[in-house]
Amino acid sequence: MLQKREKVLLLRTFHGRTLRIVREHYLRPSVPCHSPLCPQPAACRNDGKLLTSDVTHYVIPDWKVVQDYLEILEFPELKGIIFMQTACQAVQHQRGRRQYNKLRNLLKDARHDSILFANEFQQHCYLPRERGESMEKWQTRSIYNAAVWYYHHCQDRMPVIMVTEDEEAIQQYGSETEGVFVISFKNYLDSFWPDLKAAHELCDSILQSRRERENESQESRGKEYPEHLPLEVLEAGIKSGRYIQGILNVNKHRAQMEAFVRLQGASSKDSDLVSDILIHGMKARNRSIHGDVVAAELLPKDEWKGRTTALGESDNEDKASGESPSEPMPTGRVVGILQKNWRDYVVTFPSKEEVQSQGKNAQKILVTPWDYRIPKIRISTQQAEALQDFRVVVRIDSWESTSVYPNGHFVRVLGKIRDLEGEIATILVENSISVVPFSEAQMCKMPVNTPENPWKVSPEEERERKDLRKTHLVFSIDPKGCEDVDDTLSVRTLNNGNLELGVHIADVTHFVAPNSYIDTEARTRATTYYLADRRYDMLPSILSADLCSLLGGVDRYAVSVMWELDATSYEVKKVWYGRTIIRSTYKLFYEAAQELLDGNFSVIEDIPEFKDLDEKSRQAKLEELVWAIGKLTDIARHVRAKRDRCGALELEGVEVRVQLDEQKNIHDLIPKEPLEVHETVAECMILANHWVAKKIWESFPHQALLRQHPPPHQEFFSELRECAKAKGFSIDTRSNKTLAESLDKANDPSDPIVNRLLRSMATQAMSNALYFSTGSCAEEEFRHYGLALDKYTHFTSPIRRYSDIVVHRLLLAAISKDKKMEIKENLFSNKELEELCRHINNRNRAAQHSQKQSTELFQCMYFKDRDPETEERCISDGVIYSIRTNGVLVFIPRFGIKGAAYLKNKDGLVISCGPDSRSEWQPGSLQRFQNKITSTTTRGDSVTFHLFDHVTVRISVQASRCHSDTIRLEIISNKPYMIPNTELSHQNPLLLKSELVKEVTKSVEEAQLAQEVKVETIQEEYQEYCQTKGRSLYLLLEEIKDLALLDVSNDYGV
């Protein structure tokens, strides 16, 4: 029997509104208890995660403990944790979505021994709130009551410890029930985990930070910032249009001065504002932090300011912020924060000297975040000195109006400053990428494929699926050494004379059940991450490199799309979607396929499948394969031409493919290469994605996952148009078709770099393609601008992208629907899908950023410790691609580096180039024009730099202790750089990029070998500096290093 209750909730929405919700609340006689000691597992319906039996007690954290100490509860050492629903809801309502999601992920994580107990649905656990009782007291009382019930439910066989911060509760309940203990969290750690040093450090750090916050608010010194307005006032103000809601975006090059509020929600539609709002200075920013959702108030027009366009100290951004230099723009100040978006921040502690200069209050240390956009954070710690050589993770706790800086606490050590692993770990944390290896619990659900126990096609699947093994010549074309083969192709002539084109994609969802451990993990990762020297897979390698990978000569499950085409017009007559069994005959690499297409058959020596064949069958097989590749290419040309007529764009750097070498290392990032066969494959994939998009949208119009690419804002094209004009080209940006055509024409035969740069500018001006749920968008917004298609999705790479897994499930559900069969797949609702798309889009951005940042890290390591005066590699040819007031932006094709070169130095001297064209610094002035900049010395000499001029640059590295190092460029001659060595001049610049990664990796390894000897001394040093804590710090560091390495250890054959 269910009993009905009503429960009143005050909820704060995503947009900051407070809602009063009356929820009907049904009480049940039993809810899952997830305990192995359960006397009635059937009644409790204990499916899914259970607590381990291997514990001496269960621990139940009170709501406040969950809020404040979640990061300690995350420690894998802590076992048998029961999170009460009441505590989880307190986190959700008071700590926001980010913290709540962390908790949810922890509960889902198979590696962590914790469960959720829905105490408020259990009829004996639920306690109504009493009249006059505070929310806090009621929460604690409910949790205690549930703890007692749970203890009895497990037949008094397992002691239960409730940990709370509420002294009164400890007094009141401490000895009320035998077997149920109530103690403080600190006490708990001291008694049960005396050796878990890292947890103690963290706990101290949190406690100290809280204590100081309390002291501070009592002291209540002079106000540094105005108070934030109450939520109700903000909401009313936003509604009436007095305040504007948006996301705070700090300019990383002028983090102290410039931030913008990017309009969001109602504000972006209703107000007349078209641009962002400038927030000038820290005072006006009023304690909001990059990424927060804020409410801002516009200042009167006479107080408006313009944005800066001069090159900043660390300016190497190529994103043009439009040509609206110092013209005043809407300027405002922040009056309140609607949603805080704080995350983990990597920081650097000040050096010894700096600590001393920070003065009397030496316990509070100002640390500098790696991300320029985040303000310095005040940390209370005695370990500042021990931590000064490390990258450290901290969290912000609060930012009072009385404090210049936010307060935070120390979380953990990442690695040494300037150490490759430490810096990579930094990049991962800064992008919120977590790549803990797959756990045993996750892996034990995976199928096996070993020589003793080979994986086989099952008889049931054989009955259910269309079997293509005997009927179809299926093959794959991928970069050399590719292990995760997502996609294969086939083409054949049917008996009726028509052609049949097939795209067969790895059937990942056969192995990954919805909401299984692996599914949850893959969803969290959302994508495979490719860094410059390593990658982190979305799926475990038993799937990604083996059972899902459509390798040659083995049976595999696939999801196929097959089109029946007219033999001459290639018009689509019919299309079939479904599950299949395939056996790929050839695993070709691009270059070989291209040779075959070009009629150069000697390449078959490199194709293993042709070995051990007699001459006759070899000839027959070759003919068959060559016909298929030729036919595919012809079909692809035709399909491509059709898209071209609609204005498909060929852009620089839109699609990057990763090439892996034999050791699975990333060999190169290849932008779309001119090999035609590459396009053939791409076109077939685009075709499959397009047809699957249509299919799932038709079947589920309100909950299909598609990918849109919105048309760009015209104003973003102004720089592109101006630059092209400088070279005498005209770029027509009115549509994707005109843009594509005019970009094709903007080709300087004497300098191919010009076209590349223009395409790259066009790409920069574009918005990103994004996943979305069809229920959230009008149909005309579905379009993919870049590909010139009305509907598009991602179906062809389920091994590497979670979006494709969702799309596979949608497609299979659509097929069941067509057959009037029950839909087994549990589909996402529009709301859930929208949320998921947001997550995947966010993870894709993180993947891009981490790839870019790791590439820059390697570039800096490559040039670091070189003498820029003497070494050949430090001098290179560069092309000017943007003009600023005090310098230019330069692209170096050889290394693919973009960066700023100043024409005026710190002493105010300007660049001057004598008759020998070598540059020197002279007193003088700069004058900037639309497409050029002139430097004139007081002596009267002048030199002018135009857009697209080739110059000789010297590359050096500007080291930074707290941030990433940056490449510095210096123009040393206004003439192009003539490469003395002809061999070098013919080297492919892309090849050099991978060489660069290799060389850096090698020297890092050598340095590590040399350092291993020193480890022991380092350990002693720690003990000296941080007394008892030294050892654990060091061990922690090593542990993290191991974790970071483990995931790629296979790649290195370690």
Which chain residues interact with Zn ion by CB under 5 A? 33, 38, 44
CB of 113 vs Zn ion, minimal distance in Å: 17
CB of 110 vs Zn ion, minimal distance in Å: 20
Query: Smaller CB distance to Zn ion: residue 35 or 488?
Result: 35
SS (H, E, C) 655-724: CEEEEECCCCCEEEEEECCCCHHHHHHHHHHHHHHHHHHHHHHHHCCCCCEEEEECCCCHHHHHHHHHHH
323 CB neighbour count, 10 Å cutoff: 12
CB of 34 vs Zn ion, minimal distance in Å: 8
Q: Say if CB 948 and CB 976 are below 8 A apart.
A: no
The CA-CA-CA angle for residues 103, 109, 111, to 5°, reads 125
Query: Smaller CB distance to Zn ion: residue 38 or 684?
Result: 38
CB of 473 vs Zn ion, minimal distance in Å: 56
Write out the DSSP string of 537-579.
-SS-HIIIIIISS--BTSEEEEEEEEEEE-TTT--EEEEEEEE
φ/ψ of 534, rounded to 5, equals -160, 170
Query: Smaller CB distance to Zn ion: residue 81 or 547?
Result: 81
Query: Smaller CB distance to Zn ion: residue 155 or 987?
Result: 155
CB of 85 vs Zn ion, minimal distance in Å: 15
> Which residues does residue 913 pair with via DSSP β-bridges, in sequence order?
919
CB of 44 vs Zn ion, minimal distance in Å: 3
Cβ contacts of 631 within 8 Å, gap of 6 or more = 491, 499
Distance CA 628, CA 640 (A): 18
CB of 43 vs Zn ion, minimal distance in Å: 7
Distance CA 141, CA 162 (A): 11
Residue with token string 């290469």: 673
CB of 117 vs Zn ion, minimal distance in Å: 10
Residue with token string 């299979």: 812
Query: Smaller CB distance to Zn ion: residue 117 or 530?
Result: 117
Query: Smaller CB distance to Zn ion: residue 33 or 814?
Result: 33
Q: Which stretches within 766-829 are classed as H helix?
A: 802-818
| Exposure b/e, 959-993, CB count within 10 A at least 16 = b | ebebbbbbbbbbbbbbeebebeeeeeeeeeebebb
Query: Smaller CB distance to Zn ion: residue 82 or 161?
Result: 82
Residue with token string 């130095």: 905
Tell me the angle at which helices 63-73 and 197-219 cross, rounded to the nearest 10 degrees: 130
Query: Smaller CB distance to Zn ion: residue 153 or 534?
Result: 153
Query: Smaller CB distance to Zn ion: residue 40 or 927?
Result: 40
Cβ contacts of 563 within 8 Å, gap of 6 or more = 500, 501, 502, 572, 573, 574, 575, 576, 687, 691
CB of 122 vs Zn ion, minimal distance in Å: 10
Query: Smaller CB distance to Zn ion: residue 38 or 366?
Result: 38
CB of 52 vs Zn ion, minimal distance in Å: 16
Distance CA 869, CA 972 (A): 11
DSSP state of 350: P
Q: Say if CB 904 and CB 925 are below 8 A apart.
A: no
Helix, strand or coil, per DSSP, at residue 82: strand
1004 CB neighbour count, 10 Å cutoff: 16
CB of 139 vs Zn ion, minimal distance in Å: 23
Query: Smaller CB distance to Zn ion: residue 51 or 366?
Result: 51
Q: Say if CB 903 and CB 945 are below 8 A apart.
A: yes
Query: Smaller CB distance to Zn ion: residue 39 or 447?
Result: 39
Q: Say if CB 937 and CB 947 are below 8 A apart.
A: no
Query: Smaller CB distance to Zn ion: residue 114 or 703?
Result: 114
CB of 115 vs Zn ion, minimal distance in Å: 11
CB of 153 vs Zn ion, minimal distance in Å: 6
